[in-house]
Structure 1
């Protein structure tokens, strides 16, 4: 890497080239923003997803501060959108699965109004199943979040204080 490159620039380079060693150096040195966007609005996650850089992708996704759904400037695309455009079916499936496992949102629309689900190919049966599973888990999680507010109250929702009734 060229002398003087910031750790943010080195992070993007590692993602573009699937250079796990460089990425780990950046992680060790610190002083970087895992969600740093270049002039096009792409993050390291965008590059790792679009280039099929699986080793680097997993490290990026494991970072606590990683935003799994950043939107770039030109296409308004998330890393999931870019992964869906990869030609290699096996690599595409692996990248999409990693992103979905990390909580990628399948409902975000790009500048063409397309979600990642809209970009499914007819023969992408495995990815279709992964997306349906992710959507189902997301709706369950959302239901749990909605119900968490009521944990201190009686289950009937009537507010009658049923805890006192035995």
Structure 2
């Protein structure tokens, strides 16, 4: 009669990674919606793309603007790979379109600050959304009798200035390219008598 050694139960399987938890991009978007800097920084440790959109095409930057998450906004804009000009899928809006459209009447100057932050980060004022609107087109029509200190007028001025500066930068680049043209010493037209 032979006895077989008793077997012990197999070890339990290793714990599975929590597939029920939020992904790094979901946490990034949640941080942008709630102005949670710690959550944003943790999510960024796991992400290679800060511009990853959700199903609506909104990125963390879109949500930071929608929810006026000022602390998180600064961190997002400082990120090396942040693209300030991505359009969402719904209306084709960039974060600048959203900042111009949304109003936070209870926080005076917030809307202007959001617009200026995006402009300082290089937001393009000439991008058109699905309705063929540039951000400046979203503002109420300019009124000659308007209060020039109103947020609408300050935003209009900031958008016009940014567009003019971008236009000048482009024309300066063209002039600089012309200045760098090579002179061929054997060219007959360049010989002087």
Q: What is the aligned counterpart of 1:53 among 62, 69, 72?
A: 69
Structure showing the higher helix proportion among its residues: 1
Q: What is the aligned counterpart of 2:35 among 11, 18, 25?
A: 18
Hey, what does 1:150 align to over in structure 2? 178
TM-score, with structure 2 as normaliser: 0.73
Report which of the two structures shows the higher radius of gyration computed on alpha carbons.
Answer: 2
Structure 1: segments with no counterpart, 5+ residues = none
Hey, what does 1:126 align to over in structure 2? 154
Structure 2: segments with no counterpart, 5+ residues = 1-18, 143-149
TM-score, with structure 1 as normaliser: 0.84
Instruction: Please state how far the C-alpha of 1:39 moved relative to its aligned partner.
Output: 0.3
Give the alignment of 1:1-166 within 5 angstroms: 4-27=21-44, 29-88=45-104, 89-121=108-140, 123=150, 124-153=152-181
Q: Which runs of 4+ in 1 moved over 2 A?
A: 144-155, 159-162
In 1, distance between residues paired with 2:49 and 2:156?
Answer: 32
Structure 1 residues 24, 111: CA separation in 2 closer, same or farther (over 3 Å shift)? Answer: same
In 1, distance between residues paired with 2:189 and 2:176?
Answer: 18
Count the aligned residue pairs.
159
Structure 1 residues 56, 20: CA separation in 2 closer, same or farther (over 3 Å shift)? Answer: same
In 2, distance between residues paired with 1:38 and 1:160?
Answer: 61
Greater RCO (Cα-Cα under 8 Å, separation 6 or more): 1
Name the SS for the 1:147 alignment partner: helix
Conserved 8 A contact 1:15-1:44: yes
CA RMSD in angstroms, aligned pairs only:
2.5
In 2, distance between residues paired with 1:146 and 1:14?
Answer: 42
Conserved 8 A contact 1:26-1:32: no
